[in-house]
Chain A
């Protein structure tokens, strides 16, 4: 079932089937696009619409209920497609002009507007559009854009800006412009120079000289006079020129077909010019390699060898960069192991957050990598871009943005979970040891072999010094600080501070209270834990224990946690003995972990016995 639409075609009322209407519309659009570039194009178009209307009216008078698609096809057969019309009615004097000068720029009287190109696009069609507007080759603009982008990054911004501002349009005059091709018929290395020469209509020797000049300059001034100002310029511009040549070689396609050769020279591509081109030997016939003298061919061979050498170097460099990139990705992947369970529980609060973080991280890392590879392949494969799949691109960009957004969101929500700190204080009385000597030992965990070091970071000041997995796959942290300070009275005390952070005081307090802590005292010995286990599925939010052992003045103590010196230095702070003000009373280097000390008003002091040891 189809709708019938009534249209006004140049003053005639025409009933037309909906499908036929769309067909007519697209035909008229094509005609319009075609005649727009001609003086009086509107008038031609109006006259043709008038005639089409007349044809349709005849049809309707003969008894058709409405105009159908067959009628449209019949009409197009009568009127002709724009291309046919061009072939049949092309201005004769215009052809003469074309014949006399193949480099004639096609004139366009229609007002030109800047559009983004729909046909000629890599990313947004900005370069293609500007190229169409300026009637130059988009490849040149793209290379310029890459350089600007590399130099200051402003090129990217500008491109994005233009992408947003400039409307998209399928341009009509694109096939009339000259394009930059490599000329494989007249080549020394890649045909870049002769392609440029054809593009700007000069002798190929000129671009060749421009490219070779720095090399000649290096040799000449290097041999004659190093101080001459052209020498450093030559040295500097030589790699630039080589690089430029290689970029052009890689990005500019070779003109292989007759049509491409015509485009290269800026000729209009139609039936006449093609047949003309085939007749004229200049374009089609193999231009015989102008018989080179022996010296010239040796020179050309040496130059080729040199260029291939440079090319090889560049390929090695590119391979190196790619390897580096892969390494960097692997490097990024290793810390992201912490996004996997069981370590993920340290960072994230809930399984939702864990998986969210993981997915976002994968998106943010993977998508640019895929895009980069795609871009590389595209750039190196020349101009024959497949029409990029809008859906794929759209979804990729969307997922990337989602990933970035998710990362920021989750990170900020994790960070806010550190906002408030809550210290909870406990005080335990300690029985005085029998002979006035207190021994402080670290409680041993059942089996040392099960301890798996994750971070070894002994020097961090307020340190999250160690993290390791228990045998039952719980996570333990040795974030405990021990201070031995003078007691305000004549008895021993153990003061414990459990501290944790959270998004608010309540959460922080809950977390603080959940930190397990136990100590025991046997005879003279006080056993303290070396680490504490995080409650199952609790994230790490700055949980720490601070143990203060208050020793009365004049009493002697000894810290005997040196089961393994190495482990001690990691899990327990060396400067465990602190003055009340927090000032370190005993220099670390002189602290002996198994020495005897006695407490004074100003902090512990080593017994003579120690020093003798």
Chain B
């Protein structure tokens, strides 16, 4: 095999793939805590150190809403036009708990693996 992986399998691509998986989970988490509107989600994620392209948020929200995991209502705002406030539906709550379980398993597993490899692997 003589392929040059660095051309396509660069760090950016891999991180973006990683982020993509957790993005939905993070969004659902933020929404689960309280009814929020999209800009809230962004600022909370930023506060936590997770920087995303804002443009990615909106398609995800719509897809989740179309999958009946989210619902929203319009709330009047003092500073501008009415805002969409999102919350989880019942189906969304179930989905979220399942995701949480998966995530916990995954992080545990990843932790173990990465720690092991760090300690066990001799310099190659």
Contacts and interface: CB of A to CB of B under 8 A. Distances in A.
A278 B56 CA distance: 27
A247 to B, nearest CB: 36
Contacts of B9: 275
Contact of A88 (B19, B39, B62): B19
Nearest to B24: A92
A55 B9 CA distance: 34
A40 B80 contact: no
Contacts of B66: 39-40
B12 to A, nearest CB: 9
A90 B24 CA distance: 11
Given A80-B53, A278-B8, A284-B3, A87 B59 contact: no
Interface stretch (A45-53, A62-70, A502-510): A45-53
B54 A79 contact: yes
B73 interface: no
Contacts of B52: 88
A84 interface: yes
B78 to A, nearest CB: 13
Interface size class of A (residues with CB under 8 A): 35 or more
A56 to B, nearest CB: 11
A89 B60 contact: yes
A43 interface: yes
* Dominant secondary structure at the A interface: helix
Interface string B59-88: 111110110000000000001110110000
A85 B23 CA distance: 13
B16 interface: yes
Contacts of A284: 3
Given A89-B20, A89-B56, 4 more contacts: A51-B38, A54-B39, A85-B53, A89-B23
B104 interface: no
B121 interface: no
Contacts of A272: 17
B20 A35 contact: no
A271 B8 contact: yes
9 contacts: A12-B80, A31-B55, A47-B61, A48-B55, A50-B81, A51-B39, A80-B55, A90-B20, A271-B13
Interface in A145-180: none
A12 B79 CA distance: 10
A188 interface: no
A335 interface: no
A10 interface: yes
B49 interface: no
Interface in B82-104: 83-84
Contact of B59 (A51, A85, A92, A279): A85
A44 interface: yes
B122 interface: no
Interface string B15-37: 01101110100000000000000
Contact of A43 (B16, B17, B62, B83): B62
Interface in A69-101: 78-82, 84-85, 87-92
